Amino acid sequence: MNGQQTAAADPYFPANGDSRYRVHRYEIALEYRPGPNRLAGTARLSAIAGRAPLSEFHLNLAEFKIGRILVDGRAPHYTHRGGKLRVRPAKPLPAGAAFTVEVHWAGNPKPVRSPWGGLGWEELTDGALVASQPVGAPSWYPCNDRPADKASYHISVNTPSAYTVVAGGRLLTRTTKASTTTWVYEQSAPTPSYLVGLAIGMYQTVLLGDPGLGGVPQSAHVPAHLLPEFSRDFARQPAMMRLFQELFGPYPFGEYAVVVADEELDVPVEAQGLSLFGVNHVDGARGSERLVAHELAHQWFGNSVTIADWRHIWLNEGFAKYAEWLWSERSGGRTAHELAAAAHRLLASLPQDLRLADPGRKLMFDDRLYQRGGLAVHAVRRALGDAAFFRMLRDWAGVHRHGVVTTAAFTTHVARYAAEPLDDLLAAWLYEPALPPLPTPPLPPMPPARR
Cα(62)–Cα(109) distance, rounded to whole angstroms? 8
φ and ψ of 285, to 5 deg:
-125, 15
Residue 119: DSSP 8-state: B
CA torsion sign for 339, 405, 137, 168 is positive
Point out the catalytic residue in the list 141, 203, 370, 417.
Answer: 370
- How do strand 170-177 and strand 21-33 relate by DSSP bridges? unpaired
**Known catalytic membership, residue 289:** no
**Residue type for 76, please?**
P
Nearest to 140 by CA among 199, 92, 181, 87: 199
317 is in an annotated binding site: yes
CB of 221 within 8 A of CB of 163?
A: no
Burial tier of 180 (Cβ tally within 10 Å: 0-12, 13-18, 19+): middle
**Known catalytic membership, residue 370:** yes
63 is in an annotated binding site: no
Cα(159)–Cα(183) distance, rounded to whole angstroms? 8
Q: Give SS3 for 191.
A: strand
294 is in an annotated binding site: yes
Nearest to 28 by CA among 146, 173, 140: 140
CB of 393 within 8 A of CB of 301?
A: no
Question: How close are the terminal C-alpha atoms of the chain, in Å?
Answer: 36
Q: Give SS3 for 115.
A: coil
Strand order in the sheet with 269-271: 204-208, 218-222, 256-260, 274-277, 269-271
Distance of CA 68 to the CA centre of its chain: 30
Determine which helix (DSSP H) or strand (DSSP E) holds 59, and give its type and residue range: strand 57-60
Question: 389 to each of 137, 298, 336, 413, 433, how far by Cα in Å?
Answer: 35, 19, 14, 11, 25
Point out the catalytic residue in the list 186, 295, 324, 329.
Answer: 295
Nearest to 397 by CA among 339, 320, 451: 320
**Residue type for 289, please?**
E
CB of 187 within 8 A of CB of 172?
A: no
Number of Cα atoms under 13 Å in the Cβ half of residue 313 = 23
User: What would you measure as the largest C-alpha separation in the chain, in angstroms?
Assistant: 68
CB of 215 within 8 A of CB of 238?
A: yes
Q: Which residues are annotated as a binding site for Zn(2+)?
A: 294, 298, 317
Residues with catalytic function: 295, 370
Q: Which residues are annotated as a binding site?
A: 294, 298, 317
